[in-house]
Amino acid sequence: MIQKNMLRSAMKNNYIVPAFNFANFEILRGILMACEETRSPVILQVSESAMNYFSDGLLFGLIQGVKKTKLPISIHLDHGKTFEVVKRAIKLGFDSVMIDGSILPFDANVKLTKKVVEYAHARKVHVEGEIGVLSVVNDDGEKGKGYVYTSPEEAKEFVRLTGVDSLAVSIGTNHGVNKYTGEPKIRYDILKKIEQAIPNIPIVLHGASLVQPEYVETINANGGRIDKAIGNEKLLKNAYKTHIAKINMDTDFRLAYTAGVREYMTQNPDKFNPRDYGNAGIEKVAECAKFRIINICHSNGKAKNKS
């Protein structure tokens, strides 16, 4: 199982494997350019809605192409919510799946996750589960009403009952462009307790986009309007020293790509070849990925660990 080896190596050698979502072809291209330049391993993530956007036939071909590159690459289903979507991803050639039963009651989450683990392991596919709930941020509070920090005791029991290979936890991060209404804070104290409870399980951090102001400012200076944007800019600096072995970033690439395209269009109102503005977006995505690989994941140069 390629991802299992990648994550174990990251945990042992103090770095993080970047798990980057690609929402379109251009974002994938920019991410691969950065990984090749920095010699970083990478987990390429596809959500169910991204699968639908690509269509199964084209995605299958894309995955075959990606697997031919020399880099250690894992293709991962992000936030699979049902057994059916897991089966669909495995059929398409994914070597890793996330089954996200985090909003279900504990027993139902265990039941669904265990079923996926049995199916996936029989096909040598890695499984990520989740305990704790990341939710939207309310206007009136620090975290959305549904936000549940991961309980270390539950995490331990969940791993024991399901046999997952890695575990996504909830320690303060959130999905999307606006992650905090109060002071941005990640609960490293909870993470420490989780690490003690499940010392051999690689930890996954969702909602890890930095949301750097420069991309939001470029978008807004070129006709966009993103009012609130608060990310994890300063909070993940030392994450590579912990058991966090995989961090998920999607929003940052959406911002970088949009910034590149919008800026190009403002500066070149006469251009209408999608490859012209697409390339501008690709360049920004590559720069964005490179920064995260070097400064947050410290995974540059680790591609030689391919196993």
Q: Which of residues 46-105 bind ligand G3H (CB under 6 A)?
A: 47, 49-50, 78-79
Count how many residues are written for the chain: 307
**Among 7, 15, 16, 21, contact with ligand G3H (rule: CB under 6 A):** 21
User: CA nearest 305: which of 17, 63, 98?
Assistant: 17
**Among 102, 166, 218, 248, contact with ligand 13P (rule: CB under 6 A):** 248
State the Cα–Cα distance between residues 174 and 110, nearest whole angstrom.
23
> If binding means CB under 6 A, how many residues of this protein chain bind ligand G3H?
9
List Cα–Cα distances, 171 to 106, 143, 186, 187, 244, in angstroms.
18, 11, 6, 5, 11
Please report how close the Cβ of residue 252 comes to ligand 13P at its closest, in angstroms. 6
Residue whose CB is less far from Zn ion, 8 or 206: 206
Residues contacting 124, CB < 8 A, separation 6+: 1, 95
Question: For 242-267, b where at least 16 C-beta lie within 10 A, e where not — what string?
Answer: bbbbbbbbbbbbbbbbbbbbbbbbee
Asked if residues 155 and 169 have their Cβ atoms less than 8 Å apart, the reply is yes
**Among 66, 176, 242, 279, contact with ligand 13P (rule: CB under 6 A):** 176
Return the range that interacts with Zn ion (CB under 5 A); candidates 15-23, 31-39, 107-115, 200-208. 200-208
Please report how close the Cβ of residue 217 comes to ligand 13P at its closest, in angstroms. 18
Alpha carbons within 13 A on the beta-carbon side of 173: 27
Please report how close the Cβ of residue 305 comes to ligand G3H at its closest, in angstroms. 27
Q: Which of residues 147-176 bind ligand G3H (CB under 6 A)?
A: 175
Helix (H/G/I), strand (E/B), else coil: 74: strand
78 tagged catalytic: yes
Q: Which of residues 234-273 bind ligand G3H (CB under 6 A)?
A: 250
Helix (H/G/I), strand (E/B), else coil: 299: coil
* 8, interface contact from ligand G3H, ligand 13P, Zn ion, none, CB < 5-8 Å by kind: none
Q: Which of residues 198-227 bind ligand 13P (CB under 6 A)?
A: 206-209
Helix (H/G/I), strand (E/B), else coil: 61: helix
Q: Which amino acid is at 195?
A: E
Please report how close the Cβ of residue 209 comes to ligand G3H at its closest, in angstroms. 9
* 133, interface contact from ligand G3H, ligand 13P, Zn ion, none, CB < 5-8 Å by kind: none
Please report how close the Cβ of residue 97 comes to ligand 13P at its closest, in angstroms. 13
State the Cα–Cα distance between residues 301 and 109, nearest whole angstrom.
37
Residue whose CB is less far from Zn ion, 218 or 248: 248
Question: How many other C-beta atoms can be found within 10 angstroms of the C-beta atom of residue 80?
Answer: 27
* 208, interface contact from Zn ion, ligand G3H, ligand 13P, none, CB < 5-8 Å by kind: ligand 13P
Q: Which of residues 201-230 bind Zn ion (CB under 5 A)?
A: 206
Q: Mutual orientation of helices 106-121 and 83-91 as an angle, nearest 10°?
A: 20
- The active-site residue out of 56, 78, 95, 100 is 78
Catalytic residue positions, numbered: 78
Residues that bind ligand G3H (CB under 6 A): 21, 23, 47, 49-50, 78-79, 175, 250
Residues that bind ligand 13P (CB under 6 A): 21, 78-79, 175-176, 206-209, 248-252
